[in-house]
Every structure is written in C-alpha cells, then in structure tokens.
Chains A and B, each alone.
Chain A
Amino acid sequence: MSNARKLADNLPTEGSLSERNLVINGDMTIAQRSTSVSSQTGSGYKTVDRIYTNASGATYNQSQQTVTVGCETGLPLQFTKYLRHDVTTGDNWSQIYHKIEDVASVPEGTVTLSFYAKGTTPDSGLTVYCFQNFGSGGSGEVGISVSQTSTLTSTWQRFTVPITIPSITGKTIGTGSHFYFGIGQGGSTSTNAWTLDITGLMLEVGSQSTPFEHEPYSVTLAKCQRYFQHHQGRYYTIFLNGTKDSGSAYLSGSLSQVMRDKPSFSTANCYLYGIPSGVVSYTAAENRCNTSYATIGFTSVTGSIDAGEGVRFESNNNNGYVRYDAEL
C-alpha cells in the first residue's frame, strides 16, 4: 500500500481535522498537583491534571510514570508519560474520570474513545461508562450505557470504545454542565486489586479512531490551567503585591490563563511581608478573584507596618506555592 493511501485511510471522515481530541492532557504530561500519592481513599483530582478519581470505597495509589524509552512494547515512541492507577482494594465503580466542560460539546451520535493501556484487569473487566451532567439548575444527569469491557495484559494495547451519545434536545443546561466518562472497575463489588497504566486518552466525534493528537507541552498546560493553576515558588518568589489600607491589605496578580469560573484559592509555605519592615500577620484570606485576575484580601494585618505601605505575599526560601482551582 502506498504512503498516500495509508495517509488517506487515517484521515478522519467526521468531526474536525485538528483539535479532534475532546480530552485535555490525554498524554498525561501535565501533573501540577503532585506526581505521586499513596493509600488514598477519597475522591478528587490527585496527580495528573484533568483526571479525577472516583474512589467509591476503594483504596489506591496513583502516580505519573515516565516512559522508559524503547522498553514499552506496544506504545508509540512519542509518548513520554502515563498514569498509573494502582487499586490495592477494589470496590464497585472505582474509576478514573475525565470531565469535559459543557455537556453540549460532546454531540449527539457516535463518539469514539480510545486509549493505550496495560496492567491487571478489575474483576469482571475494565469498564467504561459515561454521563451527561446538566449542571447546577439543569436537567437531571443522564447515564450512557457502554456495553464493552476490556482485558488488560502486561503489554500496551490500544483500546477503542464506540459510544452513542443521546440528544440533549429539551434539556435545561445549567451552570457547570459537563460530559464525563469513567474507566475502571464496573458494578462488581470485588475487593480484588487491579492496576491500570493508561495514556493516549482520546475522545473524538465520529465512529473512527484516529491516531493520538500530540500537541506542545505549553499548549496542554495552558488548557489545563483553565481549570487549575499551581504557582510554584522557589527562592522567595513573590506571588501577589499590594498595599495596606487602614486594616487590611488587598494583593493582586495576573492568573496564567482565564479560568473556567471564579477559582478557590489555597496556599502553603508562604507569608505576608510588609515593606520595608518584615513579616506581618493577618487573620484571614478573603477571596476576591475573578476568572482572569487574582485578588486576595488579607484581613486584620498587624505588625510593623503602617497604612499606605507596600505588602507582598511570597514563598519561603524554597517551596511555597499558591493554587487556584476552578475544576469541574
């Protein structure tokens, strides 16, 4: 077969020719929160960006793994990272989720989920299921049955799962609507352990599974930062600047990307520094962020500082950070 024929056969016949992948960070390269957690029993975003874990009674370890070049049989060489979801005690519906903003972005008809995976199979098979979530104030959630289950082996395989998306005609779409799919243990209540190594996660419109769409790291990071931003400090990094008024200090700084919604704010190993005298104390951090700009009010600022003097919020000498969270 000629190369031109092979190329033609791989072009998608439905959907778009670029930006086909509705999944963000499908190659598991971005892990802003952490690269490894262990003995987890709670749900949430743990390691790799945009991957939510539904614990559902299970205990698990999770990590971002680096591909050993040339030693990953069955995995194309372009992949550098994968997610390892290591369930030590299983339970029904313990899965990893990917949530896609705006339920209407996954249209009626056939879509195709594909991914590379290896590991050990959950009891009754690796299961995929999907939901249309119409958000706060919207219609009730709609489940989408996916009949196919898969068996993992010790070498990488590419799995392809066709999914039929129902119409949303007549539904009310509220705030924070999204489509999400889960991959992992199905309805079995087995406590058996299982491990899922996964990368190349792709959801595309149409019945054809096309090659994984790689993109520059900076592009994927920017997409992830719509939902979560981790600003890492190093040597006394300054995150926010402002001025003390009569009692409080309102500090601000730009966000790296416009976020999906007003973000929650958290921080560790940082302090408030009054210029020029030194560290000052405060009683609470008031969140006045919007989607594009961070403003944090530090209330009851006291210490060697007068009204009108500058204040900055900064890392300690190594590992302070500020986080903004607008995840689904």
Chain B
Amino acid sequence: MNIKSVKYVAVDGKNVGVTATIDGEEWSVPMGAEGNRHWQAIQAWVAEGNTIAEAD
C-alpha cells in the first residue's frame, strides 16, 4: 500500500484512531485492530521509520 499523511485522531486528549491517505483514498482506521489490513500496513510503515503526526 502507498501510505501518506497519517495523523492521529484524538478525543479528550487521547488518541483513538488515525486518518490516512492510502493508495490515494482517505481512510479512518481504528487503532489496535490487529487483523485490519490498513492498520497492519500503517504499523509496517511506522516500522520503516515513518512517524504518525500528532492530532490537531
């Protein structure tokens, strides 16, 4: 997957998910869903040295 622009979504100061541009589409991805292919791909993207941007 081609992943760009990953950013946390926070509620009351706690990160609860991420938004990401994946293969040119905007996705809202739940955190910690181990079988979710988007979440797995984002984890692999982080392991490559990329960083998820902090929430607004």
B residues 1-22 in Cβ contact with A at 8 Å: 1-2, 9, 11, 16-17, 19
Q: Are A262 and B36 within 8 A (Cβ)?
A: yes
The chain A residue with its CB closest to the CB of B32 is A262
Partner of B36, one of A261, A283, A288: A261
A interface footprint on B11-55 (CB within 8 Å = 1, 0 otherwise): 100001101000101111110011111111000000000000001
Known: A42-B2, A136-B40, A266-B27. Is A286-B35 also a contact (CB below 8 A)?
Answer: no
Main secondary structure of the interface of B (DSSP, over half): mixed
A325 to chain B, nearest CB (A): 7
Known: A44-B1, A135-B35. Is A287-B11 also a contact (CB below 8 A)?
Answer: no
The chain A residue with its CB closest to the CB of B22 is A264
B5 to chain A, nearest CB (A): 13
Instruction: Give Cα distance in the complex from A135 to B9, angstroms.
Output: 27
Chain A residues with CB below 8 A from B56, complex form:
283-284
Partner of A264, one of B9, B11, B28, B34: B28
The chain B residue with its CB closest to the CB of A296 is B28
* Chain A interface residue bracket vs B: 20 to 34
The chain A residue with its CB closest to the CB of B31 is A287
Q: Are A326 and B28 within 8 A (Cβ)?
A: no
The chain B residue with its CB closest to the CB of A40 is B23
Q: Are A285 and B19 within 8 A (Cβ)?
A: yes
B3 to chain A, nearest CB (A): 11
Q: Are B16 and A288 within 8 A (Cβ)?
A: yes
Q: Are B1 and A326 within 8 A (Cβ)?
A: no
Chain A residues with CB below 8 A from B23, complex form:
42, 44
- Supplied contacts A42-B23, A176-B37, A287-B30, 7 more A-B pairs, CB within 8 Å: A44-B1, A248-B11, A262-B33, A266-B28, A284-B56, A288-B30, A325-B37
Where the two chains meet, the residues of B that have a C-beta atom closer than 8 Å to any C-beta of A are: 1-2, 9, 11, 16-17, 19, 23, 25-30, 33-40, 55-56
- Top 9 A-B pairs, shortest CB-CB distance: A176-B35, A262-B33, A261-B35, A175-B34, A287-B28, A264-B38, A265-B28, A262-B30, A287-B30
Where the two chains meet, the residues of A that have a C-beta atom closer than 8 Å to any C-beta of B are: 42-44, 135-137, 175-176, 248, 260-267, 283-289, 296-297, 299, 325-328
